[in-house]
A and B are shown apart, each in its own frame.
Chain A
Amino acid sequence: MPMRKVMKGNEAAAWAAKLAKPKVIAAFPITPSTLVPEKISEFVADGELDAEFIKVESEHSAISACVGASAAGVRTFTATASQGLALMHEILFIAAGMRLPIVMAIGNRALSAPINIWNDWQDTISERDTGWLQFYAENNQEALDLILAAFKVAEDERVLLPAMVGFDAFILTHTVEPVEIPDQEVVDEFLGEYVPKHAYLDPERPITQGALGFPAHYMEARYTVWEAMENAREVIKEVFEEFEKKFGRKYHIIEEYRTDDAEIILVTMGSLAGTVKEFVDKKREEGVKIGAAKITVYRPFPIEEIKALAKKAKVLALLEKNISFGIGGAVYTDVGRALINEKEKPIVLDFILGLGGRDVTFENLEEVVEIARKAMDEGVKEEVYWIGLRKEIL
């Protein structure tokens, strides 16, 4: 029988790792994710997880050791956030290019400067082009579930790409919620043992991994990463279906909430989706036709799902805790890509909010809806808005 426990998001991530039975974990402490390696080292110390835990001297070495272990053919896990993820940046490309299905939990946190330990998505968003799959959790249950699903997708032979699962700093990493811990046997059935055919360092059958690719081969190697990411779209659907069968919880690449007949749809990710859904309920009671959509899978980007969503509303209001300076939020540019050749498309507005842990309030969301309604009635004047900005201190 599945067990229910009240736990922090970090503990949920550590439990997911325990259930997935990785053989090697290499991690370095960083706020807000420190509890993940701490909890995992407890599992290892108590013999509840039979794994090698490498206490590395940096995040750069954490991911490098994971690459080494994964190249040697074992299931591998790590966790980090923010500057730690940024320090891994170089090796993230290599892990994807070498097609190593490492799974990483990330307590989404802002990047310096100024140094800030609180939540936004700038860390993972900045790694969107590395070739890693990206999942975002709304709550602690999703953090656990998506890590398990991420292993399954990453290790699928049609994919073989590393995966990161983000869950918001403090809002999830340090907040306790009831979480259902699945039975080990069911997880074992779901994941199976990882036995790679492409990555092993076995003296009986020596292979060379991580070779030099001349211009004659480099593009083809990169293309296979593109192809794998495309394959992941279907694989993720299959995995989410199987997940529902095994564990009873249904996941969607984009989860829609009260979108039928909605004029304005608030599109977001992570824990903000919880706030937004509640706000939608409130507005619906007031008779305002709005809905919400939560992007659970950000890479591969859900292009078809965004197209379908766009057909339903007059305005897509994107709520983003990240910024690509000089253009707007990252989701904004991605949604633009999804809709660029659509004949009929809604107004797309981008709202940058909640950076560095700033609270996103109902007042903020009221402002978003107001701006969206105005754009609907009077036409688009601006496309990117900073919401909740304290202009008086600028």
Chain B
Amino acid sequence: MAVRKPPITTREYWAPGHAACAGCGPAIVMKLATKAFSEAMEAKYGDPNAFAIAHATGCMEVVSGVFPYTAWKAPWVHVAFENAAAVASGVEAAWKKLGRKGKILAIGGDGGTADIGMQALSGMLERRHNAVYLMYDNEAYMNTGIQRSSSTPYGAWTTTSPPGKYSIGEDKPKKIVALIAAAHQVPYVATASIGDPLDFYRKMKKAASVDGPAFVQVLAPCVPGWRTPPEKTIEIAKLAIETGIWPLFEIENGDFHNIKFQRFPKDGKFKKPIEEYLKLQGRFKHLFKRPEAIEELKNQTKELWRILGKEVELP
């Protein structure tokens, strides 16, 4: 009987025994991203292990590198919160001088990327280091206990954007980090969601395969931060795509006129309402008493699509 080749490699770099929560979205990101990297390195350099990881401070760093244990089966270095991209730049330069073939993977959460790490990220992309920056987006500072970041969506509850008599929750639209990265005209920028793991996998492989820098932003729900049951993580990440709130796209060389979309309805009409995405999450619970806030979130989502060059209808 013919054995089907698994769609993703069976090699593991993210070992079991890490300390992440049950149902952790970012933990899935770590596993898939490193597997994809290894496949790309095997194809590019003939060596699946030809990569090193520079990790920003954050929940995935904390749960994976508790001395004297490690969850990493790859060379891995953590320095601080805001500088994963700068550290990756240094590692890449060192590898170049050592004649070591391979690519560097820098990993940061939304806080370590969209906020405090933005400058270092810009530097790494602008200098064209041969490194991939992976932003796992759980839409708040989850490591410190759910405070808003510039990547927190409109209306979301966090401990620093609490809904109240004079507050709807987070009151600013989510920063569009992928477009900022693409503005550096780097070879490859993509958004992904763990709700479409094979799409994410393909994008990570692509990011690792290009010559020069790449940026991937992947939506990864956080169980305690989003107030969700652990078994719903993937379902919620899927709904983010299906309701249109989380566009999946790729931009090559900063060419904003030729954005490639995935899972986009041909007629531009999303079938599932955003409410289906929101209602599974405790962080949006209060919005259902404030329909105008949900309307505002829909308008912001349409505006995001318009910026990306698509007119959409949301039910």
Using a CB–CB distance below 8 Å, which chain A residues touch chain B? 23-24, 26, 50-52, 54-58, 60-61, 64-74, 76, 90-91, 94, 98, 200-204, 206-214, 217
Contacts and interface: CB of A to CB of B under 8 A. Distances in A.
Given A23-B97, A57-B119, A212-B62, A64 B90 contact: yes
Contact of B94 (A73, A91, A204, A208): A73
A72 B76 contact: no
Contact of B89 (A60, A65, A213): A65
Interface residues of B, number: 46
A322 B96 CA distance: 41
B76 A64 contact: no
A88 B288 CA distance: 47
Contact of A208 (B70, B79, B86): B70
A101 to B, nearest CB: 14
B196 to A, nearest CB: 29
Contact of A54 (B54, B61, B62, B127): B127
Interface of B: 47, 49-52, 54, 61-62, 65-68, 70, 72-80, 82-83, 85-98, 100, 102, 119-120, 122-123, 126-127
Most chain B CB neighbours (cut-off 10 Å) among A54, A66, A98, A208: A208
A68 B67 contact: no
A24 B123 contact: no
A72 B52 contact: yes
Nearest to A57: B123
13 contacts: A23-B97, A24-B93, A57-B126, A64-B89, A69-B91, A69-B94, A76-B94, A203-B47, A203-B102, A204-B49, A206-B75, A209-B76, A212-B61
Contact of A56 (B62, B74, B123): B123
Q: Is the interface of B mostly helix, strand, loop or mixed?
A: mixed
A203 B50 contact: yes
A211 B86 contact: no
B93 A69 contact: yes
Contacts of B93: 23-24, 26, 52, 54, 65, 68-69
B9 to A, nearest CB: 15
Which 3 residue pairs are nearest across A and B when measured between Cβ atoms? A68-B90, A65-B90, A72-B94
A371 B313 CA distance: 84
A61 B119 contact: yes
B76 A23 contact: no
B97 A61 contact: no
Contacts of B89: 26, 54, 56, 61, 64-65, 68
B86 A60 contact: yes
Contacts of A76: 90, 94
Given A65-B90, A72-B91, A74-B97, A201 B65 contact: no
Contact of A91 (B77, B83, B97): B83
A217 B67 CA distance: 8
Contacts of B54: 68
Contacts of A214: 66-67
